[in-house]
Amino acid sequence: MQVITTQTERNVAMYGFADMDAYMESVKRSITYKFTGGNMIVAGLMSDAQEQMAHDDTEGARQTLNIAKAVLFQIMEGTLIGTVERK
């Protein structure tokens, strides 16, 4: 069993990319987040994971679900907005 030693290595193993902060910033800039909020981002990621599983990409699905959880945790902490209030 390989021991992951750096945050970058941990991020790549968990999410499939190195910089989660940059990902969260891209979420905040996205049109989906601006118009609907983070909950829709999570729902979209979960749909992506379902599609990956349908195509036997279990590792990709695992990473996508980890990303969805990270976004959800940011919503729970108040860093991201879950639902954008409609005017």
Residues 6 or more apart whose Cβ sits within 8 Å of residue 38: 27, 71, 72, 74, 75, 80, 81, 82
The pLDDT tens digits for 38-72 are 999 999 999 999 999 999 999 999 999 999 999 99
Which pLDDT score is estimated for 2? 65
Examine residue 32 and state whether it is found in any structural domain, yes or no: yes
What percentage of the chain reaches a pLDDT higher than 90?
77
Task: State the helix-helix crossing angle for 38-54 and 58-77, rounded to 10 degrees.
Answer: 170
Examine residue 82 and state whether it is found in any structural domain, yes or no: no
Task: Tell me which residue range forms the domain holding 66.
Answer: 7-77
Which pLDDT score is estimated for 86? 79
pLDDT band at 75 (very low <50, low <70, confident <90, very high): very high
Examine residue 57 and state whether it is found in any structural domain, yes or no: yes
Q: Is 2 left (phi over 0), alpha (psi -120 to 50) or beta?
A: beta
pTM of the model: 0.88
